[in-house]
Structure 1
Amino acid sequence: MSRAEQPSRRTVLTAAVAVAMAGSAGPAIADSTGTADSVAGAGRGGGPAARQVDNRAWTTYADWRTGALAGARAVAGPRPGVVIGAPVGTTDYTDPHTGTTAAWEYATWTSPAHRSSVPATEAIASWNAHTPAGTWIQVELRGRYSDGTETPWYVMGRWASGDQDIKRTSVDDQSDGKSSIWTDTFSVDDASTGLRLVSYRLRLTLYRRPGTRLTPTVWRLGAMASDVPDRFDVPASAPGLAQELTVPRFSQEIHAGQYPEYDNGGEAWCSPTSSQMIIEYWGGRLTRAQLAWVDPSYADPQVCNAARFTYDYQYTGCGNWPFNAAYAATFRDLQGVVTRLGSLNDLETLVAAGIPAITSQSFLKTELTGAGYGTSGHLMTVVGFTADGDVIANDPASPDDAAVRRVYLRREFETIWLRTKRLNATGGVSSGTGGVCYLYFPAQPTAHQRKALAAVGVR
């Protein structure tokens, strides 16, 4: 989180996204299939809305078999995935953050083209994987525009669960003059032209050290494509649930000044702190050996661990959205995905199924009663709703763990989370995330959880 109204790294990213959406007359209309992979924008109080979000994920054995395999192979079982079979070659990779060059065997899996039900201005990839020491993965996206031309292969992330082989990283300075990559987000440069991303393929490259038989295993790969209308305000949703989930509470502020190499704790750690709350809600625990590297005088060492292993060495922070989802999925039997939701009713649907969510928002101190701060970008965990429909949040921007539980007014929270534009402290226009959230849920959801996830466009 950045409390100042100076542009943070995440603000620069979302500002670029907001510019891309400027001039859009409104959200694109879904195709006639009306698939469950799209989310309606307005809640029960706002009436029907055009679809704004499309999610596609490859998770089943049949899914993995539909892709083009070059040295990779699909594996069945309770959690199907894709692994290195017989590598197709060896390549050198020079890590830009260490300067080290090493040789790596590799194999690839390329998805079939997915035609989005929402011609999109943005896309964000998500993946869930296991990368033993000596292995890592790269995720790329190539799209087709509405004018019939194609993007280049854009790198959406180079990732490993550890940090000894490579430094996990986003890749800057990727653009073709029509679209650009902003850390973790594909964005059309000028949406007012009407140009949209209509379809895309994802390419997964699996790497391992030559001579080893170890392999990364990828269980989930997908993307969220969206076209959220340019807006300072959003339709109000009517309350529909009074329920609170028991989610662990962690403060980011007690970590201020810790580990400068991972962005110095405190206000910079809202994302990993929120992630760790939900990971532990689902039973994810770290062993004493895994936490042995943390200074024993630090409270909640698992939050330090989350910061270290979500840190993006190019972004120089812990707020890379897909890296947080991927970190969550390193815990046994968990999945993680980045998406956008359309209203608080979507969050009510999830909470009713026992699924908390992490939301991304920015606001002035005067725009969120009871917060006591303003921020140019902040993550917090929604754990329930009061009888009046107000939002119960575990807000890590709290002085200690005991103060983390907050109740925020429904209308204020919905606005600061779902809008794409806002007035900042100097009277200028800054960006909002348009409903971005992280969802972490079991690898084998219950029937109720599956139904709730499907209702918000995630499978």
Structure 2
Amino acid sequence: MTELTPRRTLLAAALAAAAAAGGSPAVQSASAAAPGSSGAAAGPTVDNRFWFSSADWQAGTHHGTTAVPGARPALAFAAPAGRTAYTDPHTGRQGTWEYAAWTSPVHRSAVPATEVIASWNARTPAGSWLQTELRGTYTDGTATPWYVMGRWASGDADIRRTSVDGQTDGRSTVWTDTLVVDDPAKGLRLRDWQLRLTLYRRPGADLRPVVWLAGAMASDVPDRFTVPASGPGRAVAGHGRELKVPRYSQETHAGQYPEYDNGGEAWCSPTSSQMVIEYWGRKAAPQDLAWVRPEYADPQVCHAARSTYDHAYRGCGNWPFNAAYAATYPDMAAVVTRLTCLTDLEALIAAGIPVITSQSFREGELTGAGYGTAGHLMTVVGFTPAGDVIANDPHAPTNAAVRRVYRRREWENVWLRTKRYNASGKAVSGSGGVCYLYVPALPDPGRTAALRAVGVL
């Protein structure tokens, strides 16, 4: 299980270096949590702000973009604001592009943050692409540079989707898809942030790339090796609930298309994404699957891997790229966020919303898994009457073996903790509750209420 290892290993190394210098990562309270403690902190630890309404798109600063009204409002390319050259670092192809840009209002986060992760939902017709950038203001009043959070396209014929390595100002750094304060133990945080979306198209082309949703999740999750145990929430207590989510194994694709992160063994993220996309009734079009070898089962999983591959990260585990892929399906919305407790996840399941979660653990820490991982995505599809977690875990030998039941206490800890010990006894990072939420763009009232309750809307 290696999909998230390169990025998370680098991030863990940076945080370990800060800790060795007398600090510790992602500390919200005045002092770091001791190993084995809950690390609980007072006040909110996660803040979401996503732009998607007509009023949202009318706000901010437009340079050649326009707000498009309708049932699903959008930001669209209206007229070129200029031209620029771009040399794709992964193909060497040079090109000239017209561009238009939108800069969001400044969002003052309810949580002075140690990490920020952007999300976007867009359509870029062939001959177009987009770049998402983020700029923050530190709590000392100084600003970060504009950081590139992703160069992305719906397809891969024009540019290669990519994160951008080597971005830092000496106080914060972009690790693939996450902007991280380098040494939060010193008290520095990101007070506010704003996005800049730049849409590109071939000069003179009559193309209209559009963005339906863009924003970010900012967080300051306390440093913790364990989290407090929770009891089953009211949403599932005593009766449980299991959603009928399709089951796909990444392992059945082992060795297939090694150009995408060495094949299916590393495809936990796109495999999980495809399960939830199909739960909502969306299917890949036949023409999108025509490139897959006919003898391969579940070609849509191969398509998902190709469509989420980050050529700089060299993996399919770029979190926003997975959400952006899900939103290429008709009337789907998708974001990357953090949940702060298992009862929030239960509320989403009760509303009929499966949740793709990121976790890491040693073999033996999660009873029944049978493996250890430095970073792995699975899909939570329900809870038993006793409150244990029912997951579609793509690390299974067959589709039929994907369904697992994991012990509640073990599962919530490996998902929500920010620190853990690996097999060598070294302290490394955990995801701290990171998850993907994919829902219809116009969810029903019950699902809207659930999303609002967990702070996404």
TM bracket (short chain): over 0.9
Mapped to 2, the partners of 1:182 and 1:8 lie a distance apart of 12
Matches within 5 A, 1:7-406: 8-15=5-12, 18-19=15-16, 23=24, 26-27=27-28, 49-240=42-233, 241=236, 242-406=240-404
| Counterpart secondary structure, 1:326 | helix
Give the aligned residue type for 1:27. Q
- The match for 1:36 is none
Deviations 1:193-248 (A, max 9, x none): 10000001100000000111102100000000000011000011110211000000
Q: 1:414 to 1:338 in 2, by over 3 A?
A: same
| Counterpart secondary structure, 1:309 | helix
- Say whether the 8 Å CA contact 1:14–1:433 is kept in structure 2: no
- The match for 2:445 is 447
| Counterpart secondary structure, 2:2 | coil
Mapped to 2, the partners of 1:121 and 1:55 lie a distance apart of 14
The offset of 1:11, in angstroms, is 2.4
Q: 1:391 to 1:46 in 2, by over 3 A?
A: farther
Mapped to 1, the partners of 2:204 and 2:428 lie a distance apart of 51
Q: 1:318 to 1:47 in 2, by over 3 A?
A: closer
| Counterpart secondary structure, 2:400 | helix
The offset of 1:68, in angstroms, is 0.1
When the two structures are superposed, what TM-score results if normalisation uses the length of structure 1? 0.93
The offset of 1:174, in angstroms, is 0.2
- Say whether the 8 Å CA contact 2:39–2:224 is kept in structure 1: no
The offset of 1:10, in angstroms, is 3.2
The offset of 1:287, in angstroms, is 2.2
- Say whether the 8 Å CA contact 1:18–1:230 is kept in structure 2: no
Mapped to 1, the partners of 2:93 and 2:246 lie a distance apart of 40
Deviations 1:323-355 (A, max 9, x none): 000000000011010000011101101001100
Mapped to 2, the partners of 1:431 and 1:48 lie a distance apart of 18
- Say whether the 8 Å CA contact 1:420–1:431 is kept in structure 2: yes
Give the aligned residue type for 1:390. D
Q: Which runs of 5+ in 2 are unaligned?
A: 31-37
Mapped to 2, the partners of 1:16 and 1:219 lie a distance apart of 36
- The match for 1:35 is none
| Counterpart secondary structure, 1:290 | helix
Give the aligned residue type for 1:423. Y
Mapped to 2, the partners of 1:289 and 1:206 lie a distance apart of 26
| Counterpart secondary structure, 1:151 | coil
The offset of 1:17, in angstroms, is 7.0
What percentage of residue pairs aligned between the two structures are identical?
67
- Say whether the 8 Å CA contact 1:421–1:432 is kept in structure 2: yes
Give the aligned residue type for 1:101. Q
Q: 1:443 to 1:436 in 2, by over 3 A?
A: same
Give the aligned residue type for 1:9. P
Give the aligned residue type for 2:28. P
The offset of 1:14, in angstroms, is 4.1
- The match for 2:2 is 2
| Counterpart secondary structure, 1:51 | coil
Give the aligned residue type for 1:12. T
Give the aligned residue type for 2:116. A
| Counterpart secondary structure, 2:174 | strand
The offset of 1:25, in angstroms, is 8.6
Q: 1:455 to 1:323 in 2, by over 3 A?
A: same
| Counterpart secondary structure, 2:45 | strand
Give the aligned residue type for 1:232. F
Mapped to 2, the partners of 1:451 and 1:363 lie a distance apart of 32
Give the aligned residue type for 1:430. V
When the two structures are superposed, what TM-score results if normalisation uses the length of structure 2? 0.94
| Counterpart secondary structure, 2:414 | helix
Mapped to 1, the partners of 2:29 and 2:212 lie a distance apart of 31
Give the aligned residue type for 1:366. G
| Counterpart secondary structure, 1:444 | coil
Give the aligned residue type for 2:176. T
Give the aligned residue type for 1:213. D
- Say whether the 8 Å CA contact 1:253–1:265 is kept in structure 2: no
The offset of 1:262, in angstroms, is 0.6
- The match for 1:33 is none
Q: Which runs of 5+ in 1 are unaligned?
A: 30-44
Deviations 1:43-81 (A, max 9, x none): xx9999521000001000100111100011110001111
Mapped to 2, the partners of 1:277 and 1:326 lie a distance apart of 15
- Say whether the 8 Å CA contact 2:15–2:25 is kept in structure 1: no
Give the aligned residue type for 1:300. D
Mapped to 2, the partners of 1:330 and 1:154 lie a distance apart of 24
Mapped to 1, the partners of 2:11 and 2:265 lie a distance apart of 18
Mapped to 1, the partners of 2:382 and 2:67 lie a distance apart of 39
Give the aligned residue type for 1:403. A
- The match for 1:41 is none
